[in-house]
Amino acid sequence: MMLFRLFAVCGMVAIGALSVEAADMELQMVDKNCWIEVFDDTKYDADDPHVKVQGPKEYASLENLSGRDWNNDIQSVIVGSNTTVLAYKDKDFKGTEIAFAPGQRIPNLSDLDMSNDIESMKITCGK
């Protein structure tokens, strides 16, 4: 009987541990249409440095965006179809703000007086 109780207690502990582990491993849905791709050259030049950033996410600084300093180094952008982006001229979401709409493509940010002037951004999903 003692062995049965020990087995029951061990089983309950194991089930409890599994449920905690399952909660920690909760799946997060990724919206494949929520992203912004930034380029350090005009007209989306894929031969030069560029990076696609998945949202939703906020970047108070672009200093280490995918392992590279993108502060003041973005010249063109492509926005995912389910994405809205607020980009700021200064770090910490300060300074001049520009909004990019879902599906928008900006081949030359200098047309909007923001070429090489973005230092922070907020990426949101959903229209």
Q: What angle do CA 92, 102, 36 make, to 5 degrees?
A: 50
Separation of alpha carbons 49 and 64, rounded Å: 14
Is 76 in contact with 115 (CB distance < 8 Å)?
Answer: no
- Listed by start position, the domains of the chain span 35-125
Residue 17: both structure tokens together: 């541990």
Q: Three-state DSSP class for 14?
A: helix
Separation of alpha carbons 48 and 73, rounded Å: 12
Separation of alpha carbons 29 and 34, rounded Å: 11
Under-70 pLDDT residues of the chain = 1-28, 127
CATH architecture of 35-125: Sandwich (2.60)
Is 34 in contact with 125 (CB distance < 8 Å)?
Answer: yes
pTM beyond 0.85? no
